[in-house]
Amino acid sequence: MEPNGVPARGERPARPRLPGRRAEHGPDRTTRPDASHGTGTRDADAEVLKLCAAAERALPGGAPPLAPDLLLAAARLGWRAQAGAAARERIVALAAPPAGSECEPRRIATLALAQPVRQAELVVGQLGRFRTESMSDAEDLRMLGTAAYAVGEPVLAADCLNRAETVLRDQGRPGPLPHALVVHAQALLDLGDWHRAARAAEEIRRLAAEGPGHPECQVDALTVGAQAAALSGDTGAALRLADRAESLDADGPSAAVATRVSLVRGIAACADGRYGDAYALLRALFPEESGVDPDPPDRDRPDPHSPDRNGPDPHSPGPSGPDPHSPPRFVPCLNSGVPDGGSWCRESFGAIGFLAEAAVSPHRRSEAAAVVAALARRTAGSPASLPRVQLRYAAAVLADDVEAETLFRRALADNLARWPWPRARAEFAYGRWLHAQRRTAEACPLLRSARLAFERIGARSWAERAAEELRDAGGPPCGPG
């Protein structure tokens, strides 16, 4: 999903023109993507390169302020339509600052959107220069929040965008507000403030309905609301909202929408305990390990040593027939050639923990561990918090008994004071592992803490599982649950 839509400074936000959407009245074709193209990456690459060429022409032509806007538009398009590596490299080549120089917020956002992993060190370093709590330029705050979200710093993104929203409201400028709310809500989903994210989604839909110019925000609001509902255990509402988001593009959803919808459906399946469905959907978000068989013959055979304590995988048809929301095994729209770019790359940070939870058979645990290792290699040079937090959690969940305790302690050693959802997940998984090792006195405090945190943030399905684990542990060491 694209973090936001960004008009040139001082302009009225223009109605975005997505690939696959019929052309509407809007900016000149040299500065916006050609809407006649489909959602394929080849078309997106051509449009990104066209914007880069226009940016190059703007510099010697005496219009330097236009070049950063064109490069930002190229990065936004590449993010949403999942442009290929060469197109994103071209953006970076044109936008990269001279060594040792400082970047203005728009350039930082461009680099973060173009290559959220490779540029993470530069972006995080540049973000550290700004005292966002005292800034009063909403556009700069929005750019910094976009950059922080893209590379995987949701705490900083939430702070920047909260400040941007305050400034925009104080200035009576509702036009850019939906774009700031979208990114802010996405960051809140990562951290665990789902009630606020859902309220933001409602406000985005209201603002988008009140005036033209925000069709992308309408779709994004639906996917934000869908993910909040899935995480909260309201999976029926989550699937309905995801279906609506897909249907808003007449020629099919963009790569960004398809990726987020797959993530939502995977989370909903995890919440419902449908781990076969969840694994298939989430596994498709990691095509870099495409050589491994994603659907082995024993995929639904229960694993007696599995961490899944909710019974066998209910993927097979029940008395009333197959689940109407049973997903396809793979999502064909993803481009396996873009390990560092596009919304897919960013969504993989959040999806890896759910993939680990859904890997309940021995084959899948082994395959998921290979995916975790691949993502760890891909993000090894990034100092960003989100991939580190999620990879540590996933590695601990998938570890054998020899390594599990060390990895769980490492996962909980991060400063997670503002990450209630990741912290509660790690506590629950560690407590469950301790219970399985018959270390009940150590398990119960972790399980109780996780259950209370899940209840506070609204993670109903996970709260029920933690409560069940506490009941199973039983006895005086647990105390009142």
Residue 311 pLDDT greater than 70, yes or no: no
pLDDT (0 to 100) of residue 64: 58
> The pTM is what?
0.82
Residue 11 has pLDDT above 60, yes or no: no
Q: From CA 208, how far away is CA 194, in angstroms rounded?
A: 21
Residue 453 has pLDDT above 50, yes or no: yes
**What are the pLDDT digits (tens) for 356-383?**
999 999 999 999 999 999 999 999 989 9
Alpha-carbon gap, residue 229 to 177, rounded angstroms: 23
Distance CA 112, CA 110 (A): 6
Q: How far apart are CA 104 and CA 126, in angstroms?
A: 9
Q: pLDDT tens digit string along 202-248? A: 999 888 777 666 778 889 999 999 999 999 999 999 999 999 999 88
Percent of the chain's residues with pLDDT above 70? 76
d(CA 148, CA 171): 24
User: Does residue 459 surpass a pLDDT of 60?
Assistant: yes
**pLDDT recorded at residue 328:** 33
DSSP string, 176-217: THHHHHHHHHHHHHHHT-HHHHHHHHHHHHHHHHHSSS-HHH
What gap in Å lies between CA 245 and CA 375, rounded to an integer?
Answer: 28
**Cα-based torsion angle of the residue sequence 17, 5, 3, 215 in order, rounded to the nearest 10 degrees:** -50
- Tens digits of residue pLDDT in 28-48: 322 222 232 334 467 889 999
pLDDT at residue number 54: 94
The continuous run of DSSP H or E covering 362 comes out as: helix 362-378
How much is the pLDDT for 228?
96
Q: pLDDT tens digits for 159-184?
A: 999 999 999 999 999 889 999 999 99
DSSP label at residue 234: -
Residue found under tokens 């900016």: 27
Least confident of 10-24, 287-301, 395-409: 10-24
Q: Are 308 and 360 in contact (CB under 8 A)?
A: yes
